[in-house]
Structure 1
């Protein structure tokens, strides 16, 4: 899966994740576009984020346009990196 695309970030999240809801709301208020992948329904999503997070499947995990990953970042961290 190619997650990096132009200036759009990829956000791995789940409907039951409070941190994910918070981050999505903050991204919306900041006008930051993102592609969302629901870890509960996307094939291989948990394996992908586990590979990025040293074996743990932590969400929200954000893949930046340069291919690097941030785990449970603040919106400020994301903006400073894109």
Structure 2
């Protein structure tokens, strides 16, 4: 669990260092720009942006019951972040599994991707799709006509 927070904490530290260096130069207002930029990056790369993850077994059980896709992801992954942002409010309708917190989820991703932990891996109706287009994932949430 702590590994998913390493990058956000590092970004916050860099932001504080950049702000302190700028304040040391004399302008407090100019120090806010890098500090806010690094805070924004830290939030975007933190697990806070993603819906609450569930375990792989629970996600598969829920997906079988409601037909919604399972998304295997990892904090700090730009492709996972892209998928999350492009899904918008619909992201909460999927079942999210953080492979850094759930070894069974990581094993499922490795099994689907030839031994690689390539994320995001989206499983729809038992079929894995590696790094799918967010528009396609959104379509999978629509009820069949």
How does the TM-score come out when normalised to structure 2? 0.49
Aligned to 2:69: 9
Q: Does 1:54 align with 2:114?
A: yes
1:24 matched to 2:102? The reply is no
Which residue number corresponds to residue 5 of structure 2?
none
Task: Write out per-residue CA displacement over residues 29-70 of structure 1, whole angstroms, 9 at most, x where no aligned residue.
Answer: 5x3521111111112222111101122110000011x11111
Which ranges in structure 2 are unaligned for 5 or more consecutive residues? 1-56
Matched, 1:74 2:133: yes
Alpha-carbon distance between aligned partners in 2 of 1:77 and 1:54, rounded to the nearest angstrom: 23
Question: 1:80: how far off?
Answer: 4.3
Structure 2 residue matching 1:16: 3-state secondary structure: coil
Q: Which has the larger radius of gyration?
A: 2
Flag the structure with higher helix content. 2
Report the TM-score when normalising by structure 1.
Answer: 0.80
Aligned residues: 80
Question: Which runs of no fewer than 5 residues in structure 1 stay unpaired?
Answer: none
Partner Cα distance (1:75, 1:36) in 2: 14
RMSD: 1.9
Greater RCO structure (CA 8 Å; 6+ sep): 1
